Amino acid sequence: MTVVAVIDSGGGNIGSVRYALERLGARSVLTADPATIASADRVILPGVGAAAPAMARLRELDLVATIRRLQQPLLGICLGMQLLYESSEEGEVECLGLLPGRITKLPPGPGVRVPHMGWNLLQKHESNAGARLLAGIGERDQAYFVHSYAAPVTADTLASASYGRRFTAVAGRGRCFGAQFHPERSAAVGSRLLANFLALEA
């Protein structure tokens, strides 16, 4: 059975993430212990809230170096994905630096209310990593988002969405992946993404 270390980052979505993993037959362990995280088959960094307090918590737990050194597949969810990038405009904070780029606020406008809350279409980008993580997810499939900040579209973008501007909805580089949307709240699409993540080669 695949063991997934869910990093205890203090996010309110941790329980639902663990339940989604259990439905897929994985055993999850909520932990802030570096050794447990390093020895797990997969690692998930969830997150709800703001970037600066979240990074402060990871530093207090002495987990920044542990996360940066991981060799197994890592998935950041929502704020957890944003923390994978170099920095965030939210609180002007340095993040984990596993993905190049800076997180910026979504621009409000006519018909565009921030935070972005609700279902949105995913547009897949061609890449080998994306083919593995997004296998079985179609061009017109939707996912559920709740966020005010987002990552730019870069070479690491596996799928994007549009809200005020186009932003990265799913990212990947090497063994490091991120989902800006909430897979645990995205019905069949979210379940498929998590199942694909569990099936990735370690």
- Decide if 60 is catalytic: no
The active-site residue, picked from 22, 60, 78, 126, is 78
Output DSSP code: residue 175: T
- Decide if 126 is catalytic: no
For 50-101, write each residue's pLDDT tens digit.
Answer: 999 999 999 999 999 999 999 999 999 999 999 999 999 999 999 999 999 9
Residue 187 confidence (pLDDT): 96
For 109-138, write each residue's pLDDT tens digit.
Answer: 888 999 999 999 999 997 666 679 999 999
- Decide if 147 is catalytic: no
The active-site residue, picked from 116, 125, 147, 182, is 182
The active-site residue, picked from 92, 147, 184, 201, is 184
pLDDT surpasses 70 at 11: no
What distance lies between CA 110 and its chain's CA centroid?
A: 28
Higher per-residue confidence, 10 vs 112: 112
How far apart CA 47 and CA 81 sit, in angstroms, is 8
Q: Which domain holds residue 57?
A: 3-199
Residue 94 confidence (pLDDT): 98
At residue 49 the predicted structure's pLDDT band, cuts being 50, 70 and 90, is confident
How far apart CA 68 and CA 71 sit, in angstroms, is 9
3-state secondary structure of 53: helix
- CATH number, domain with residue 56: 3.40.50.880
Q: Are 149 and 51 in contact (CB under 8 A)?
A: yes
How far apart CA 15 and CA 170 sit, in angstroms, is 22
pLDDT surpasses 70 at 178: yes
Number of compact structural domains in the chain: 1
Pairing of β 123-124 and β 157-163: antiparallel
